[in-house]
Amino acid sequence: MKKVVIVGAGYAGILTAKKIAKKFKKNDEVNITIIDKNPYHAMLTELHEVAANRVDEDSIRVSLKKVFAGRKVDVKLDTVTSFDFDNKLVFGKAETYEYDYLVLSAGSKPTFFGIPGAEEHAFKLWSYDDAIVIRHNLINLFRKACRIADPEERKKVLSIYIVGAGFTGVEMAGELAEYLPIICEKFEIDRNDVNITIVDVLERTITLLPEDLSRKVEKRLKKMGVNMMFGTYVIGVGEDYIETQKDDMVTRHQASMVIWGAGIESADITGEAAKVLESARRGRIKVDQYLRSLQYEDVFVIGDNMLFIPEGEEDPVPQIVENAEHSAATASHNIISLITGKGELAEYKPAFHGFMVSIGGRYGVARVGLPNLMFNLPSFLAMFAKHMINMLYFVKILGWNKVWSYLRHEFFTIRHCRSFVGGHFSNRTPSFLLVPLRVWLGAVWVYEGIMKYVKGWAAEPILADSIKDTNAWYDSVLSSGANGADGVVAATDAVTGATGEVGNVVEAVGTTIINWDFFGLFKAILVSGNDLANSTIGDFAFKLDIPLLNWFMDSFFLSSDSMQIFMQTLMFLAEIIIGLLLIAGLFTFPAAGASLALQLMFISTTGQYLNTFWMIFAAIAVLIAGGRVFGLDYYVMPALKNWWKGLPLVRRLYIYND
């Protein structure tokens, strides 16, 4: 039995555990244990969104039980206190763990550089709990300020300082500045009474970015009302003040809230390991090219905990998410090779693809590309890239379930339009307003199905002649020329009125509006059964002519009278069933999807009159959760979801959503 113990369920730890578990999913001789003090994984790069009340707190938290459901990974809720590297032991408060291979990925914590009062009085932003504390404190701060009558005293209470102009400080400042108009309006406070200031000893924001992008960040922050103090040291933090020093001048500023984002160091347990393992630079442990500690080849160190300088570089790899992902891949590969005795150990050769920073939910900057070919992205694309990268990460750890949750929090239920696409995708319309539309759409389908039965669709073949007649009509209108003024035939009745399939033909005038051929793959045809000046919406017919579909219909569905009757029977039964399901609000999603599929089938065979296109848009409108209000889905779907996500295979593949 080979035992792999992973300390820390951050970005690097989770990915390492999943990669090793995937390799040995059929091997009972390999045991994988991951230990963390929390039962969840938090998206540390998104903490500012929760702190400034843009998204719900659950949006950045991922249950470890869900991540490893159906996988042979033993998740331990424990706090690791020390190690015995010689005897291969990990000591936790609850248990002691033996290992053959240890992965140290415990992450980081804020560092306060020994500044008096900073650790005691500043608000950290480095954990899920930190974000919640900041959010609640902000709200309480404004609740208190709205009761203060003296304007000067109110301004003192609403003085907020953010220490550090790196990624954490800048994103927190941008998010907070975007939130201010909202919270100020709520508590009836003048925005000018609120002071947000970034303080940093460096001369610009985010030094990992080129200077021109840093200046863009600063320009945006200033536009949002954020003050900046560069080249300034923080020398003290108190309960209601912050002391700074610029050159030889020391200044005490009134500060009701100081948020610390000025730097990080290795987590406490990594510092404990660093007492034995060679380390430098705030507790980062030195590793070889295979990501093993220099003293023990069975101890791998990854993510923020590792200190590694790639060949040809002067600085160690940065403590960023991409480094966590790359180092997890290398470490897991090497552990697998050592356990199996197959393959060679892989050297760590990171190739980072750039950096992105968001200034609130609407604006961002990015420098991305390949190591030797970097380019800047405009704001919209920068924000788009950020969300795409987050979703790709979620695919790796929790599949569709978390991707859907992320989309819902970031776009579909976004608060106060705080998104780079504004609130255009946000769900604001009460669902009960869709009930009449859903019921009416269902009633039309039931009517159409019954009328088809009355007209003999279950007794005699009709489809072939109907399609032949409509094709002849379209051809006659198209052949009459671009304006179609001399067309001699048009449809006067549809086989079914409401679904609008073009049908029986008589002499009339027609007009060609569109006749586009897309490389022989299909044609888009829009014609009127009347001259253009006298046409109404009910005269216009649209058809997608698809040669491959025509061949399929002729070869199979229309190949014999018996097959036609069979297909006709299926069609009107499907219409009745779809209609009843929509009326009842039962299985609304598949019913609306089937409604769309039938409409597409009509468009690509007989064509449809434009006055029936409302059915397409109605089906789209009720597609998502349309049956949860005054419908049976209100009762049925929760029960089905609980049953579905309880299946082992479903949980392992993450093909469910919460």
Q: What is the mean pLDDT of each run of 10 residues along the chain (658 residues)?
A: 96 96 93 97 93 90 92 96 97 97 96 95 95 96 95 94 96 97 95 96 94 96 97 96 95 96 92 94 93 97 95 90 95 97 94 93 94 90 93 87 87 89 83 92 97 94 89 85 38 41 53 92 92 90 93 90 94 97 96 96 92 95 88 92 89 81
For residues 154 and 80, state if they share a domain: no
Answer yes or no: are the C-beta atoms of 268 and 115 closer than 8 Å.
no
Domain extent at residue 506: 434-633
- pLDDT score, position 481: 52
Answer yes or no: are the C-beta atoms of 305 and 324 closer than 8 Å.
no
Question: DSSP string of 10-28?
Answer: SHHHHHHHHHHHHHTTT-T
Answer yes or no: are the C-beta atoms of 373 and 316 closer than 8 Å.
no
Query: Which of 262, 293, 319 delimits the end of a domain?
Result: 262
Can you name the residues that pair with 486 across neighbouring β-strands? none
> For the chain, first and last CA: distance in Å?
36
- pLDDT score, position 497: 42
Which contacts qualify for 413-420: CB closer than 8 Å, 24 or more apart? 414/54, 414/55, 414/361, 415/53, 415/54, 415/55, 416/182, 418/54, 418/178, 418/179, 418/360, 418/361, 418/362, 419/361, 419/362, 420/361, 420/362, 420/363, 420/364, 420/379, 420/380, 420/383, 420/384
For residues 246 and 270, state if they share a domain: no
For residues 214 and 337, state if they share a domain: no
Q: What one-character DSSP code corresponds to residue 300?
A: E
- pLDDT score, position 493: 36
Query: Which of 323, 351, 379 delimits the end of a domain?
Result: 351
What are the b/e assignments for 181-216, b being 16+ CB within 10 Å? eebbeeeebeeebbbbbbbbbeebbbeebeeebbeb
- Residues contacting residue 221 through CB under 8 Å, at least 6 positions apart: 170, 173, 174, 177, 198, 205, 228, 359
Sign (positive/negative) of CA torsion 33, 37, 38, 39?
Answer: positive
Query: Which of 334, 351, 368 delimits the end of a domain?
Result: 351
- pLDDT score, position 312: 85
Answer yes or no: are the C-beta atoms of 518 and 582 closer than 8 Å.
no
> Would you give the distance in Å from CA 556 to the centre of its chain?
42
How many domains are there within the chain? Answer: 3
For residues 180 and 239, state if they share a domain: yes
Q: In which element (H, E) is residue 266 found?
A: strand 264-266
- Residues contacting residue 464 through CB under 8 Å, at least 6 positions apart: 558, 564
For residues 241 and 297, state if they share a domain: no
- pLDDT score, position 509: 60
Q: Is residue 399 part of a domain?
A: no
Amino acid at 337: S
CA distance 510 to 537: 14
Can you name the residues that pair with 102 across neighbouring β-strands? 5, 299
> Would you give the distance in Å from CA 221 to the centre of its chain?
25
For residues 543 and 612, state if they share a domain: yes
Place of tokens 């586009």: 516
Q: Is residue 52 part of a domain?
A: yes
For residues 604 and 468, state if they share a domain: yes
CA distance 202 to 245: 13
- pLDDT score, position 651: 86
Locate 445 and state its tokens.
Answer: 């389908």
Locate 18 and state its tokens.
Answer: 């999943």
For residues 327 and 440, state if they share a domain: no
Q: Is residue 286 part of a domain?
A: yes
- SS3 state at 407: helix
For residues 149 and 8, state if they share a domain: no
- pLDDT score, position 492: 33
Q: Is residue 359 part of a domain?
A: no
Q: In which element (H, E) is residue 52 found?
A: none
Q: Is residue 280 part of a domain?
A: yes
Locate 252 and state its tokens.
Answer: 């005490």
Q: For the domain that residue 196 is a member of, what is the CATH number?
A: 3.50.50.100
Answer yes or no: are the C-beta atoms of 208 and 315 closer than 8 Å.
no
What does pTM read for this prediction?
0.83
Burial, 648: exposed, middle or buried (Cβ in 10 Å; 0-12, 13-18, 19+)? exposed
Q: Is residue 536 part of a domain?
A: yes
For residues 169 and 232, state if they share a domain: yes
Q: Is residue 210 part of a domain?
A: yes
CA distance 333 to 516: 54
Locate 148 and state its tokens.
Answer: 């203060």
Torsion of CA 376, 381, 387, 389, to 10 degrees: -50
Which contacts qualify for 648-652: CB closer than 8 Å, 24 or more apart? 648/69, 648/70, 649/70, 651/66, 651/69, 651/70, 652/69, 652/70, 652/71
CA distances from 575 to 401, 449, 610, 630 (A): 32, 5, 20, 22
Can you name the residues that pair with 7 across neighbouring β-strands? 35, 104
Sign (positive/negative) of CA torsion 323, 285, 299, 94?
Answer: negative
The beta strands (E) that lie in 319-414 are given as: 354-358, 364-370, 373-377
Q: Is residue 328 part of a domain?
A: yes
Which contacts qualify for 591-600: CB closer than 8 Å, 24 or more apart? 591/442, 592/619, 592/620, 592/622, 592/623, 592/626, 593/619, 593/623, 595/441, 595/445, 595/619, 596/620, 596/623, 598/499, 598/571, 598/574, 599/499
Sign (positive/negative) of CA torsion 168, 170, 171, 177?
Answer: positive
For residues 75 and 148, state if they share a domain: no
For residues 271 and 203, state if they share a domain: no
Place of tokens 């992205």: 377
- pLDDT score, position 500: 56
